[in-house]
Amino acid sequence: MLAVDAGNSRIKWGLRHADGRWTDFGAASVDELERAYEAWARIPAPRHVAIANVAGPTMRETVIDLASRWQTELLWVAAAERACGVVNDYENPRQLGVDRWAAAVAAWQRERRECLVVMAGTATTIDVLDARGVFRGGLILPGLGLMKRALADHTAALTLARGNYRELPRNTADAMESGCIHAQVGAIERMYRQLPPGARCVISGGGAHALVPHLTMPVVQVEHLVLEGVAALAEEMMRGEGAQGCGSSC
């Protein structure tokens, strides 16, 4: 199965074999999709392509075009009331972003206990799973890059320069970098206080490496959390065990 995480900034993928091994991981920015076409041409034809798409109809058509080289079934996973042992307590379960849902499913399969699930990408999402596998809800805030670009785009004196984290910054680039990291880490730590002592924070996404050194709770960093969840949801869908999604005709 080729698992695909189609996001707002990048499309990511990985090939999951029947024995559970993962190979052929890759990613391409939405501005350089030719890299995806080149990479997918080298991937052995999968039996299924499972997709979580949060980037709208244009990305959907792109994925369909990318997969058209193979005669294979497309499985579009979606948030549901329950799947893979996780119960969705969102007010409107189907409104939950499928990337957050897939991350929660993967985190539950890894931890099977209370945990905070953090995805640090274009947006940072911070979600709570309780001891019964109930997705309790969480936060969405701008990711690190988006925070910094907002400062640069909407102020006259600040520019988008590379800075370093400092406890007490003494130049503007470091002040912006450190301020954005403090904002992200502070939100994560405030949410973590809702969990019992010893609960883990499971974190993934392109911005995770910048945040992990500053987190004080038990943390496990997972490289491809959403892809793991996409594969689990698609496998349950194929078994007909209640996961909500749609096939190639959807």
For 120-156, the pLDDT digits (tens) are: 999 999 999 999 999 999 999 999 999 988 888 877 6
Same domain, 168 and 52: no
Same domain, 64 and 100: no
- Burial of 68 from C-beta contacts in 10 A (0-12 / 13-18 / 19+): exposed
Same domain, 67 and 114: no
Q: CA-to-CA distance for 172 and 191, rounded, in angstroms?
A: 29
Same domain, 156 and 193: yes
Q: Is residue 209 included in any domain, yes or no?
A: yes
The whole domain housing 162 covers 89-224
Q: At 103, list the tokens.
A: 């991350």
Same domain, 70 and 190: no
> What are the helix (H) ranges across 68-141?
98-111
Same domain, 24 and 42: yes
Task: Convert the pLDDT of each residue in 160-211 to its tens digit.
Answer: 778 899 999 999 899 989 999 999 999 999 999 999 998 999 999 999 999 9
Q: Which residues are catalytic?
A: 99
Domain count of the chain? 2
Same domain, 119 and 167: yes
CB atoms within 10 A of CB 171: 12
3-state secondary structure string across 52-81 = EECCHHHHHHHHHHHHCCCCCEEEEECCCC
Same domain, 220 and 162: yes
Q: Is residue 83 included in any domain, yes or no?
A: no
DSSP lists the bridge partners of residue 46 as: none
Q: Is residue 84 included in any domain, yes or no?
A: no
Q: What pLDDT, on a 0 to 100 scale, did the predictor assign at position 242?
A: 43
Between 8 and 221, the higher pLDDT residue = 221
